[in-house]
Copies of this chain bind each other. A is one copy, B any other.
């Protein structure tokens, strides 16, 4: 069991000094060169490669987290995002020139991404390295200094993070603060320029309120109850396995975990045996003995989850062992919206099933609640999926799987409404930690034109200025079909084909 003893809290008095140091480092300009950023990212990669055993062991100590889950979903993910960033940082960070209509031809214009300054990253405990280091990667890629506050609920993970960040990364620009509410509050009130928070919606709102007074931009990665709708035409075998996996990986303590199930009675009766069979394959009949099944993070959450179990509705599982913070994979049926388990994000291995007759009832049920972080749909009918997607809103959506919509680096990961604000991953991480500054160089020789804006205002000058910048509706939007090089290729290909045809028909010489 994790104890507070192994985590030293950063004294409150030190926090102001740390922030001062980071401010000085940022002002020195050392985080701006791409070479510095790439070096840090390479170090981050090395850290998550060389220290994978240490990290996995720490998370295992914290809440019996299976080694594989830390290898795959913390270390592996971070390494891949590091490589992705190294491959693309040059394009992300460069000045991006823009073009408009001829009216603006006298202006040389581009968007110049620049760092905010000092970025505060508040991590979460459930994926203790991923949810701290992926945002850190974004902050570094964008050229910021960063201060990381790992969650105190995974103290061993926080401790190894502190040691390793101190060893691998540039301590003049990247620091770790350990502690709980007091330290977090001191940081939020300190000299920072940006906050990236992962955690509960309730605390997220407090974070947002605290920094709003200083007009500090925030990204809030929260959660909520992510519904799963299983249509009657879903592939039951595949659905059951994927659902079973998503509900119990990290023991359901995943922001993107499928929270509750909506389906018809008929589908439920086909699904339940398959889910149970999958769980048995995964963890044997006694998950408490399985290395692949982790435990609830602490006693408080264990008690919270235990209260959500309505034994009269449990048809599988429902076992709980307070000594080990262990709760078995559990299914409850005939759940309705007033049950305890439907009042909060579960964040545990309980699968409540709410009966709906069809997708319309499902949509109604989903839309009556706050926008979830994820919406899951299992169906073999893509049109049905599309209907549900178009009638609802969620941070992200996956059809025929759960959680893995987070994997492709090209997609933004974030919530909407109560589930969060802002997004990251891939280029979105870079953008989230950057200010996109518009820069225009205006020609001095354009004065004859530009001076038409000067008073005294006359009808002629006004009419001139209006027509100079007047936008015109393009009714046949060719550019929509392709960009410049597409049309260049098309033109050249047409010329070649024409030449070949002409040479063929006219001279009877069929050759390129």
Contact = CB atoms under 8 A, between A and B. Distances in A.
Contacts of A485: 482-483, 485-486, 488-489
Interface in A260-290: 278, 281-284, 290
A293 to B, nearest CB: 7
Given A68-B461, A72-B462, A212-B212, 11 more contacts: A81-B471, A87-B471, A87-B477, A90-B477, A99-B410, A114-B393, A209-B212, A248-B455, A404-B450, A405-B442, A412-B438
A264 to B, nearest CB: 20
Interface of A: 27, 29, 32, 66-69, 71-72, 76, 79-81, 83-84, 86-88, 90-91, 98-100, 104, 107, 109, 111-112, 114, 116-117, 193, 201, 204-205, 208-209, 212-215, 217, 220, 222, 235, 237-238, 241-242, 245, 248-249, 278, 281-284, 290-293, 367, 380, 382, 385, 389-391, 393-401, 404-405, 407-413, 416-418, 420-421, 423, 435-444, 447, 450-451, 453-457, 461-462, 465-466, 469-474, 477, 479-480, 482-483, 485-486, 488-489, 492-493, 495-496, 499, 512
Given A71-B466, A215-B421, A469-B76, A480 B91 contact: yes
Nearest to A116: B416
Contacts of A469: 76, 80, 407
A477 B92 CA distance: 13
Contacts of A471: 79-81, 83-84, 87
Contacts of A32: 390
Contact of A413 (B237, B438, B457): B438
Contacts of A420: 215
A496 B492 contact: yes
A398 B444 contact: no
Contacts of A201: 215
A397 B437 contact: yes
A455 B241 contact: no
B409 A100 contact: yes
B217 A212 contact: no
A94 to B, nearest CB: 9
24 contacts: A66-B457, A72-B453, A72-B462, A72-B466, A76-B465, A116-B416, A201-B215, A208-B213, A217-B421, A235-B444, A245-B454, A249-B453, A293-B455, A393-B437, A396-B438, A397-B438, A398-B440, A398-B441, A405-B439, A405-B440, A483-B485, A485-B486, A496-B496, A499-B512
This protein's copies in its complex: 2
A450 B398 CA distance: 15
B76 A111 contact: no
A423 B397 contact: no
Contact of A442 (B241, B401, B457): B401
Given A389-B439, A440-B411, A473-B86, A451 B241 contact: yes
A380 B100 contact: no
B489 A457 contact: no
B499 A408 contact: no
Given A462-B72, A473-B86, A482-B485, A438 B411 contact: yes
Question: Which 8 A-B pairs rank lowest in CB-CB distance, beginning with the nearest?
Answer: A292-B455, A401-B442, A68-B457, A208-B212, A98-B410, A485-B485, A83-B471, A282-B455
A57 to B, nearest CB: 15
A312 B311 CA distance: 83
B416 A435 contact: yes
A81 to B, nearest CB: 8
A259 to B, nearest CB: 18
A461 B99 CA distance: 49
Contacts of A293: 455
B450 A242 contact: yes
Contact of A87 (B443, B456, B473): B473
A470 B440 contact: no
Contact of A470 (B80, B278, B418): B80
Contacts of A220: 215
A257 B441 CA distance: 17
A393 B90 CA distance: 20
Contacts of A67: 457
A92 to B, nearest CB: 11
Contacts of A284: 456
A455 B416 CA distance: 32
Given A457-B66, A483-B485, A193 B83 contact: no
A485 B491 CA distance: 12
A437 B222 contact: no
A109 B410 contact: yes
Contacts of A109: 405, 408, 410-411
B76 A466 contact: yes
**Residue of A114, A212, A477, A486 with most partner-chain B CB within 10 A:** A212
Contact of A489 (B282, B380, B488): B488
